[in-house]
Structure 1
Amino acid sequence: MLRTIRAFWHDQRGVALVLVAIMLPAIIGFSLLVIDMSRANNLHNDLQKGADAFALAGAAELDGNPDAIIRSDRAIANLVDNTYKFSSAGPIQTLTNAGITRRYLRSLPPNDTDAIRVQDVITDEVAGAAEAEFVEVTVDPTGFSAIFPASFLTGNTGDNAFNIRATAVAGFAGVVVCDMTPLFICNPFEDLGVPLHQVVSDQNFYRKGIKLVQGGGTGSWGPGNFGFLRPTDDHGYGAAELADDIAQADTPECINSRGVNLRTGGPQPAVRDAINVRFDIYGGQMHSNDPLIPPAPNVRKGYKYKNSKNPNACNMDPVTNTTELTQFRQMTQDTSYTGRIGNGMWDYEGYMAANGFTTSDMAGFVDANGSAYSNANPPSRYDLYKYEIAHGLVDDASLGGETGVAACHASPSTDPERRLIYGAIVNCLEHAGDLNGQSGAPIPAVGFASFFLTEPVDQARTNGDIMAEIVDIDGEQGRGTMVGFAKDNVQLYR
């Protein structure tokens, strides 16, 4: 008997089965916990992605305009939906705007771990829409049923189910542009008392001529004035540096619409020279052998040689007799605005005659209805400029012998947009107190616009003003040509 007991004591066969039988509930329970954790994590991940997407879609519309919240709600409702798995509602569900709550914020606490404060929340979404910089999206509690039978341990039948939530905060950090002309332009429509984007939507904004007059000291800034931008930390941004950056259309840093740094002051002759390089005119510090400042591929400008016996393309003067040599004609004033805006009408037929363009030359140049252009139905001068380039008319001589071919600079640009300048549009009347040299506070830009230079800046002919045509503006009201130029800067903050 003792031998049998001793043998049984030392016999280990089948012990694994015993141990497994003892540990099996724990193994199964741990496996179920792992599966539940994985399912719950996947559900939370899906819900968080949905919250992030809704917040980003809404934040992209918070541009400071009075209808920003209306557009943000529309984007949340129509642009985004996400699927999620493993909820108690079924295997695959769709998260739409009906499954979230949102609130708009004017600010955020200084620390990410701090809760949203009362002063951060916009309670009046009509009056406070322009203040909205952030949107907080919270996914409604979503049920999750665990496989692990926790109720067996606690005795509470509800322990197997709980809710999962997700929250995201996104904000519109402004429109960001890089490599632009360092100019700002006083909103030419500010005195109408309506936001710029509304003017763009309701008026024939594009194709209008605009006379940009350089602003001076405090109190002389109004619709249509222009000034300059400077780098954020460079309060000694000099005239020579500014002129180089204008000539190259290259700001020293990217610019954010939330605040542009201004460089105001009196007229800058160097700026005239910097703009005129696009017309193959070089003076001051601008040199015709500089590859960084080439002229545009079409520089027709109504100039003649100073010495016809010894013609020199780098030594020309503007003409006053425009029957044989002519630039793009100026538009007549639109009396609807107190700013310096043209009404879209200009002497198209005179331009055609002076430059010898025939009906055959312009056969493909018609309006949207297929009708030929005329003085009663003039085209955009920017469109005509591009048509001349695309149809080989640049080297056609005018009645006075001028062509649009650059001859002073050895290597003209092939990019038609070389005759465009870009400017940040600011409300100068609203921020008159900040237009003070290089020391004023940053001013928000209500938009960015591109302008086609219709003729050189000349003291005798244009009084030193910039004569241009409005081509495009950034944002949803634009024509789309600035999509790659101005980029909305939207980001997640929480």
Structure 2
Amino acid sequence: MLGTICRFWRDQRGIALILVTIMLPAIIGFALLAIDMSRANNLHNDVQKGADAFAIAAAAELDGAPDAWTRAERAMENLVDNTTRFSNSGLVTLASAGSVTVNPGASSCRSRGNISWCFLKSLPASDSSPITSSNYATTQAETLFVQVTVTPESFSSIFPASFLGGSNGLTVGATAVAGSPGAVVCDMVPVFICNPFPGQSLYEVANSGQFYKKSLKLVVGSTSWGPGNFGFLRPSDGHGYGETDLATDIAIGRVPECVSARRIYTQTGNLTTKVKAAFNTRFDIYANGGGFPSKSDPRWPPAPNVRKGFQYASNGNGQGSGSQNPCNMELATDATRYHQLTRDTSFTGQIGNGGWDYTGYAAANQMTSALTHFGSSYNNTTNPPSRYDLYHWENTHDSNGNVVPVGDPNSLVHTQSVGGETGVPACASTVGDEDRRLIYAAVVDCSDSYVQSQLNGQSGAPPAIGFASLFLTEAVTGDEVMAEIVDIAGSRGRGTMENFVRDDVQLYR
């Protein structure tokens, strides 16, 4: 009997069953916890992604315009479609549909469907600090961010937490904050222009077809600002940014920092001799001697096509034969021998009618035959081509209409006019790229009283309504800069500024 007891005591068979029996509740409990945690995590992931998507869609519309909030709400309603799983309600569509309810205590806070949002003008300095009413925007112009909150969804766990004194249910919600700094441009010429078509947005004008091919007489505004007036930009901390600094940056083609449409830092003043010379570097016109701008400085090369209707400076015989010095030239008066890309035939204020002497240009520059490849439908005034498109064609085609690289000796740039002028730069020692004659400018609504109050010396910082690229059609010889609008930034433009203007939206929380 004692031996039987001893053998039983030493027998280890079946011990695993005992251990499993003891551990089975814990194993099942941990398995249920793992399943619940996975379900809750997936639900939170779905809800958070939905909040992020709503916030980003809304923030993309916050450009400071009077209808920014309306467009942001429309974007949340129409552009975002998210669903969640694993809540007690099963498959739930996160929607912003129906009528908007405005918070009576804060008009910038609203709700619709199963989301709510607040438009914000600022964020707390620390991410751990809560957003309060002091951060709420009161106007659409000052709105920089949007906070979106998704209504929490109920979630019931499988693990019986109530056995341990806890709750079997919880709610899962999410909040996201996104913002947009507005359109941002880097490496732009420090210039702004007044909207040539006041009362209309750039996009309305672009859609109507009024914007392109028309001459602009850009005249410094000084104290009076209207359509076509222009002024200069300065760095944000650039008080004391002087004439030489400005002229240098215009010659190079960039303001020394990125520019946001939310707030451009303006500097009004006159079109001085130095500033004119800075613009004219693009036309291979440089100061005599060692003055500014130096022809040997590679920071401001001429464009590859500088045809400008100039002749060698006269020696007194009236024929412009002079010393044949390409750095000493003057504007010719005989348009049958020397012909630049002329301005429009008539103007309303400072905006041209879009008609210019295309056939005269082709004849004087002996390109009438060559330009038949460019387009036979163009004539003198009713349907002339864009001057920029013609400039680009000359750079990239030969007399037979074949495509050639920019700078190729067979391009139309090398074709001589009746008077002997070509478009080949000869004064400077280097040549820039084709876009040297393009300048990118901020466009400002100068009809707005607030903007007008900001256009005063070096103290102003008005918002811009957009950015435009302008083609310089003539060398600056007077008190105006002649240009042609090529494109505007944004989806309604021609697409040539897509890589130039950044309009980023980011999540902040």
Cα-to-partner distance string for 1:61-106 (whole Å, 9 max, x where unaligned): 121223333433343344433454434455x766554564243514
Matched-pair contact (CA < 8 Å) for 1:450–1:471: yes
Seen in structure 2, the aligned counterparts of structure 1 residues 161 and 371 have a Cα distance that, compared at 3 Å, is: farther
1:235 aligned onto 2:248: no
Query: Which runs of no fewer than 5 residues in structure 1 stay unpaired?
Result: 123-127
Cα shift at 1:47: 2.0
Tell me whether 1:163 sits opposite 2:163 in the alignment.
no
Q: Which residue in the other structure is 1:254 paired with?
A: 258
Residue 361 (structure 1) aligned with residue 361 (structure 2)? no
Secondary structure, aligned partner of 1:173: coil
| 2:456 corresponds to | 436
Number of aligned residue pairs: give it: 468
Task: Note if contact 2:116-2:151 (Cα within 8 Å) is conserved in structure 1.
Answer: no
Matching of residues 456-475 of structure 1 within 5 Å: 456-458=475-477, 463-475=478-490
Rounded Cα–Cα distance in structure 2 between residues aligned with 1:206 and 1:104? 39
Q: 1:12 Cα shift?
A: 6.9
Q: How does 1:234-383 map to 2 (within 5 A)?
A: 234-283=238-287, 284-306=291-313, 307=315, 308=321, 310-335=323-348, 338=349, 340-358=350-368, 360-366=369-375, 371-383=377-389
**Aligned letter for 2:308?**
K
Q: Structure 1 counterpart of 2:481, which letter? A: I
TM-score, length-scaled by structure 2: 0.83
The 1:486/1:62 distance shift into structure 2, 3 A limit, reads same
After TM superposition, give the deviation of residue 246 of structure 1 in Å: 1.1
Q: Partners in 1 of 2:342 and 2:242 — Cα distance?
A: 34
Distance 1:282 1:256, change over 3 A: same
Q: Corresponding residue for 1:30?
A: 30
C-alpha distance in 2, partners of 1:234/1:50? 43
Q: Offset at 1:355?
A: 1.1
Amino acid paired to 1:144: F
Q: Residue 130 and residue 241 in structure 1: after superposition, are their counterparts in 2 closer, same or farther (change >3 A)?
A: closer
User: For residues 364 and 55 of structure 1, do their structure 2 counterparts lie closer, same or farther at Cα, with a shift above 3 Å needed?
Assistant: farther
Contact 2:280 2:286 in 1 (8 A): yes
Q: Pick from 137, 142, 145 the counterpart of residue 148 of structure 2.
A: 137
- Residue 161 of structure 2 corresponds to 150
Q: What is the distance in 2 between the residues matched to 1:180 and 1:121?
A: 30
Asked whether the 8 Å contact 2:84–2:92 carries over to 1, the reply is yes
- 8 A Cα contact 1:103 1:121, kept in partner: no
Query: Which has the larger displacement, 380-389 or 422-431?
Result: 422-431
The answer on 1:174 being equivalent to 2:185 is: no
Matched, 1:204 2:210: yes
TM-score by length of structure 1 reads 0.86
The CA distance in 2 between the partners of 1:41 and 1:57, in whole Å, is 24
Whether the aligned pair in 2 keeps the contact of 1:349 and 1:375 (CA below 8 Å) is: no
Which of residues 443, 448, 468 is equivalent to 1:425?
443
Would you say the 8 A contact 2:345–2:357 is kept in 1?
Answer: no
Counterpart of 2:192 in structure 1 is: 184
Which AA in structure 1 matches 2:388?
Answer: Y
Residue 212 (structure 1) shift: 0.7
Distance 2:496 2:418 in 1: 34
Q: Is the 8 A contact 2:147 2:176 kept in 1?
A: yes
Which one-letter code corresponds to 2:159 in the other structure?
Answer: F
Deviation at 1:267, TM superposition (A): 3.1
Counterpart secondary structure, 1:169? strand
Aligned amino acid, residue 264 of structure 2 = V
Write the distance in 2 (CA, Å) between the matches of 1:448 and 1:482.
9
SS in 1 for 2:32: helix
Asked whether the equivalents of residues 213 and 465 of structure 1 are also in contact (C-alpha less than 8 Å), the reply is yes
